[in-house]
């Protein structure tokens, strides 16, 4: 029997431009009833693997994939696959509890928050948030729309609340985030909703507004666990797992407990946070294998030194790519305002747009795939989530320079 004890990493406290108040956080000790298998990360990127710049589902850490592969058939002497376990058996309970514990350590989630592992993607949360946070469909709520995803969230909220779009970046093609001082927040708004990182347009909040209601809600699907976050500034954080923390089919919700238990009368049971909180995400059968995969990723992030270290890596990768774009004398362009360029999703276009198809095709031949931009935007998009190694970005940048040299 081995013990996996989580503890905050001191690295999480370094180099923070915005110091936050850490409420008393006690590390949780979880005993794993089975022996842990540790596998050394591969020294080199496997030859048969590509560099996958897809926006989501996205590349996963190779050592996580190899570990999952090694125990897919028989998990740690249990005699069965994780996919075959009863969600109420002791094996799976240990898996989901450790996943939650490790996530709490990574994000330093205060004890007054619940962590839920749900299904249905962030899109289900577009409905679940107003259904749970607004006492009636007549409740006022505010939405800041910085891209397609926050726009969809605002539209869905119209069924269950009275949302106001208090700021929209649409007129400037979603390349900016508003100055918080200029936001005209509704006095009576139940919450303020933002999308922390817009996957399609590559716009990312580097800091967060303060709503009058005290309830800030953020869709963090595409930058979840990519950097430290002061969870206490939020009422709800929700994120689909399939970009930074696991495969698709798992949606994580972090919610302050006082916000639970007020769902509207016609809320479907699977959209009621109280049901999931009271049942530790096991009210019905959860997406067990996906949760297990998230657990392996959380473990990997902790082994990397936690989110402070992870952010440093992400900054370095993004810097290399943005520098190549900005240094190309206009051959490549990223339209996003520099102060809010995403560390995760880098959209760019070619000055000669007729070359874009060739760029994508040639890159694919060089085993750099899924660089085509979203169909609503065009151009290219390189999604460089946590698991994209620096080597992948370096290869892309080298290719970009070579491509430019050949087509200048």
Residues that bind other proteins (CB under 8 A): 46, 48-50, 52, 54-60, 62, 65-66, 68-69, 72-74, 77-81, 83-87, 89, 119-124, 126-128, 156, 159-160, 240, 242, 246-250, 265-271, 283-290, 293, 367, 369-370
355, 219 contact by CB (below 8 A): no
Rg over alpha carbons for the chain, rounded to the nearest Å, is 21
- 243 given a catalytic annotation: yes
DSSP result, 360-408: HHHHHHTTEE--BPPTTT-SEEEE--TTS-HHHHHHHHHHHHHHHHHH-
**Beta carbon of residue 219, minimum distance to other proteins (angstroms, whole number):** 12
Cβ closer to other proteins: 200 or 231?
200
Helix (H) or strand (E) holding 273: helix 273-278
In sequence order, the 6+-apart residues with CB closer than 8 A to the CB of 348 are 325, 332, 333, 334, 379, 380, 381, 382
Give dist(CA 326, CA 375) in Å, integer: 24
Give dist(CA 21, CA 231) in Å, integer: 10
Cβ closer to other proteins: 58 or 324?
58
Give dist(CA 173, CA 147) in Å, integer: 8
In sequence order, the 6+-apart residues with CB closer than 8 A to the CB of 338 are none
Candidates 98, 149, 162, 277; catalytic one: 149
Helix (H) or strand (E) holding 216: strand 216-219
Give dist(CA 281, CA 258) in Å, integer: 18
CB atoms within 10 A of CB 345: 30
SS3 assignment, position 298: helix
**Beta carbon of residue 180, minimum distance to other proteins (angstroms, whole number):** 29
Strand partners, 193: 143, 217
Helix (H) or strand (E) holding 52: strand 51-52
Candidates 162, 227, 243, 317; catalytic one: 243
Phi, psi of 125 (to 5 degrees): -70, -25
In the DSSP assignment, the letter for residue 354 is G
Strand partners, 350: 332
85, 229 contact by CB (below 8 A): no
**Beta carbon of residue 362, minimum distance to other proteins (angstroms, whole number):** 16
Candidates 102, 151, 219, 277; catalytic one: 219
Cβ closer to other proteins: 329 or 375?
375
CA-to-CA dists, residue 227 to 52, 298, 342, angstroms:
21, 13, 12
**Beta carbon of residue 346, minimum distance to other proteins (angstroms, whole number):** 16
Cβ closer to other proteins: 59 or 114?
59
In sequence order, the 6+-apart residues with CB closer than 8 A to the CB of 209 are 144, 180, 183, 192, 194, 216
**Beta carbon of residue 90, minimum distance to other proteins (angstroms, whole number):** 11
**Beta carbon of residue 168, minimum distance to other proteins (angstroms, whole number):** 20
**Beta carbon of residue 266, minimum distance to other proteins (angstroms, whole number):** 5
- 149 given a catalytic annotation: yes
**Beta carbon of residue 284, minimum distance to other proteins (angstroms, whole number):** 4
* Catalytically annotated residues: 149, 219, 243
């Amino acid at each position: 029997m081995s013990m996996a004890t989580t503890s905050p990493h001191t690295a999480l406290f370094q180099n923070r431009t915005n110091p936050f108040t850490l409420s008393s956080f006690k590390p949780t000790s979880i005993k794993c009833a089975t022996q842990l298998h540790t596998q050394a990360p591969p020294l080199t990127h496997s030859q048969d693997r590509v560099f996958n710049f897809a926006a989501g589902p996205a590349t996963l850490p190779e050592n996580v994939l190899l570990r999952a592969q090694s125990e897919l058939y028989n998990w740690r002497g249990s005699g069965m696959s994780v996919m075959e376990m009863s969600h109420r058996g002791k094996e799976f309970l240990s898996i989901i509890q450790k996943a939650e514990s490790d996530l709490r350590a990574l994000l330093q989630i205060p004890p007054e928050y619940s962590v839920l592992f749900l299904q249905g993607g962030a899109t289900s949360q577009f409905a679940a948030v107003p259904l749970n946070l607004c006492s009636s469909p007549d409740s006022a709520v505010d939405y800041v729309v910085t891209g397609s995803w926050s726009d969809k969230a605002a539209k869905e909220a119209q069924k269950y609340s009275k949302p106001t779009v208090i700021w929209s970046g649409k007129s400037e093609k979603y390349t900016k985030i508003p100055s918080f001082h200029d936001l005209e927040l509704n006095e009576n708004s139940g919450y303020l909703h933002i999308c922390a990182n817009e996957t399609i347009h590559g716009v990312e909040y580097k800091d967060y507004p303060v709503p009058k209601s005290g309830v800030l809600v953020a869709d963090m699907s595409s930058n979840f666990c990519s950097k430290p976050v002061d969870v206490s500034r939020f009422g709800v954080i929700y994120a689909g797992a399939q970009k930074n923390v696991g495969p698709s089919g798992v949606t994580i919700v972090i919610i302050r407990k006082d916000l639970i238990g007020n769902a509207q009368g016609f809320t479907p049971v699977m959209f009621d946070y109280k049901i999931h909180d009271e049942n530790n995400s096991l009210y019905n059968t959860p997406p067990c294998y996906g949760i297990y995969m998230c657990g392996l990723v959380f473990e990997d992030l902790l082994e990397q030194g936690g989110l402070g270290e992870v952010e440093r890596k992400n900054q370095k990768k993004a810097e290399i790519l943005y520098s190549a774009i900005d240094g190309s004398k206009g051959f490549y362009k990223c339209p996003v305002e520099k102060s809010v360029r995403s560390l995760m999703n880098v959209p760019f276009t070619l000055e000669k747009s007729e070359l874009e198809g060739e760029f994508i095709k040639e890159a694919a031949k060089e085993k750099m795939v899924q660089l085509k931009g979203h169909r609503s935007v065009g151009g290219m998009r390189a999604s460089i989530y946590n698991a994209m190694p620096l080597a992948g970005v370096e290869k892309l940048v080298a290719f970009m320079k070579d491509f430019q040299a050949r087509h200048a």
